[in-house]
Amino acid sequence: MKTIKWGILGAGRIAGKFASDLRLVADAELVAIGSRSQASADEFAAKFPVKYRHDSYDALVKNPEVDVIYIATPHVLHYENTLLCLANNKAVLCEKPFAMNARQAKEMIALAREKKLFLMEALWTKFIPHFIKTKEMIGQGDLGEIRAVLANFGFKPTEPVPARLFDPALGGGTLMDIGIYNVFIALSILGKPDAIDAVMTPAATGVDEQCAVLFRYKSGAMAQLFSTFASNLATEVDICGTKGRIRLGTRFYDSSSTRYPSHRPSLSLKVFKPLSALIPAPVNTTIFFIDQFRVISIKFIMLNRVGFYVVSRIVNSGYFPDLVEHLYQ
């Protein structure tokens, strides 16, 4: 089986986390790092040894040994970095958020389709075992009709506070950084809303320090989504149906997520079945995500570069970036 050769564009913290787990995946090899300076590329390579240390993004995308590039730059650069990679015939795994608005996302997708290249947003939640199991349980009716999704994601940044969190020039604000997970969960479970309400509390820089979103559906279902940089939240999701409730706890990917049977409401906090009991042995979730992409990447390389863009059926239609843009308006 062909080894997929990876390059990473951007040498920051997220790039390091990705590189660390990539070393544990079979048939995947990190061969190149691209940064804006040689010093930064060398510093990254000292922690994660690579064959090529490029002092520019242009040099990385022109490296003939690289099959696919993981984009790990600030939010506002994802659009131009992705187009650069695609223009040089590189498959792309782009860190979330995919783009800053719908126009950018559509251009990125159009170029990938034109060149038949793989393009994907690194929204890893979709590939985590407990989320897959949750979707399966919902699909087979274990929870009955889903009536509500309640999602919260929040933390109070500690010093030194990363500039990207509050700088509008870097795509700062809770919606783009963490609120996107709430939106993803709601769309994945309930689909496209029929009406949207949103309010926010601005930070001193003007970006949203707190953001509250309400999705309403003609069926009567609702999704209540809240994100904040003002306080530390439980960061959980409750998916509530007519037959039961599932809680995805501790940043949505805790293996102890639980199902509460609604037919025994008095015992709802005492009687539960851990989802971990329904899932195979514990899996490093980052590795699990990369492994899923590895399989798809192999197919893309082996099958004449038939590319496509995947995150969810909603994103596939271009609706997800449209929705995020609408929330900002």
Tens-place pLDDT, residues 166-222: 999 999 999 999 999 999 999 999 999 999 999 999 999 999 999 999 999 999 999
Domain of 76? 4-122+286-312
Q: What angle do CA 21, 316, 69 make, to 5 degrees?
A: 35
Mark whether 93 and 193 lie in a shared domain: no
- 115's enclosing H/E stretch is helix 102-115
- Which of 14-18, 177-181, 245-249 is the least confident region? 245-249
Mark whether 77 and 134 lie in a shared domain: no
Give the residue with greater pLDDT, 118 vs 278. Answer: 118
| For residues 295-319, average pLDDT | 43
Mark whether 267 and 305 lie in a shared domain: no
How would DSSP label each residue in 26-49?
TTEEEEEEE-SSHHHHHHHHHHS-
pLDDT at 53 over 50: yes
Residue located via tokens 């240390």: 53
Mark whether 17 and 91 lie in a shared domain: yes
Mark whether 133 and 213 lie in a shared domain: yes
Residue 327 inside a domain? The answer is no
Mark whether 118 and 148 lie in a shared domain: no
Mark whether 148 and 243 lie in a shared domain: yes
Q: How far is CA 68 from CA 106, 208, 271, in A?
A: 20, 34, 46
The whole-number pLDDT of residue 102 equals 87
Residue 225: which pLDDT band, with cuts at 50, 70 and 90? very high
Mark whether 208 and 247 lie in a shared domain: yes
Residue 277 identity (one-letter amino acid):
A
Q: How far apart are CA 215 and CA 201, in angstroms?
A: 18
The whole-number pLDDT of residue 306 equals 40
The whole-number pLDDT of residue 61 equals 98
For residue 193, give the nearest of 92, 97, 324, 80 by alpha carbon: 324
| For residues 265-277, average pLDDT | 40
Give the residue with greater pLDDT, 54 vs 289. Answer: 54
pLDDT tens digits for range 88-115 = 999 999 998 899 988 999 999 999 989 9
Mark whether 187 and 248 lie in a shared domain: yes
Residue 322 inside a domain? The answer is no
Residue 69 inside a domain? The answer is yes
Residue 85 inside a domain? The answer is yes
The whole-number pLDDT of residue 126 equals 80
User: How deeply is 299 buried, as exposed, middle or buried, from its count of CB atoms within 10 A (0-12, 13-18, 19+)?
Assistant: exposed
Mark whether 134 and 90 lie in a shared domain: no
The whole-number pLDDT of residue 131 equals 83
| For residues 235-258, average pLDDT | 77
Residue 249 inside a domain? The answer is yes
Give the pair of three-digit tokens for residue 75: 């939010």
> Residue 136 belongs to a domain with what CATH number?
3.30.360.10
Strand ranges across the sheet with 309-310: 52-54, 28-34, 4-9, 68-71, 91-95, 119-122, 309-310
**pTM, whole model, 2 decimals?**
0.82
Which pairing describes strands 28-34 and 208-216: parallel, antiparallel, or unpaired? unpaired
Q: Is 129 helix (H, G, I), strand (E, B) or coil?
A: helix
Give the pair of three-digit tokens for residue 293: 């992409």
Provide the domain count of the chain.
Answer: 2
The whole-number pLDDT of residue 88 equals 97
Residue 321 inside a domain? The answer is no
User: How deeply is 39 buried, as exposed, middle or buried, from its count of CB atoms within 10 A (0-12, 13-18, 19+)?
Assistant: exposed
pLDDT at 271 over 50: no
The whole-number pLDDT of residue 312 equals 33
Residue 27 inside a domain? The answer is yes
- Which of 38-52, 75-89, 313-327 is the least confident region? 313-327
Mark whether 224 and 99 lie in a shared domain: no
> Residue 21 belongs to a domain with what CATH number?
3.40.50.720
Residue 328 inside a domain? The answer is no
| For residues 294-300, average pLDDT | 48
The answer to whether 95 and 70 are in contact (CB under 8 A) is: yes
Mark whether 19 and 138 lie in a shared domain: no
Give the residue with greater pLDDT, 13 vs 320. Answer: 13
The answer to whether 32 and 54 are in contact (CB under 8 A) is: yes
Q: How far is CA 80 from CA 73, 76, 100, 302, in A?
A: 10, 8, 11, 27
Q: What is the mean pLDDT of the chain?
A: 82
For residue 174, give the nearest of 133, 126, 213, 142 by alpha carbon: 213
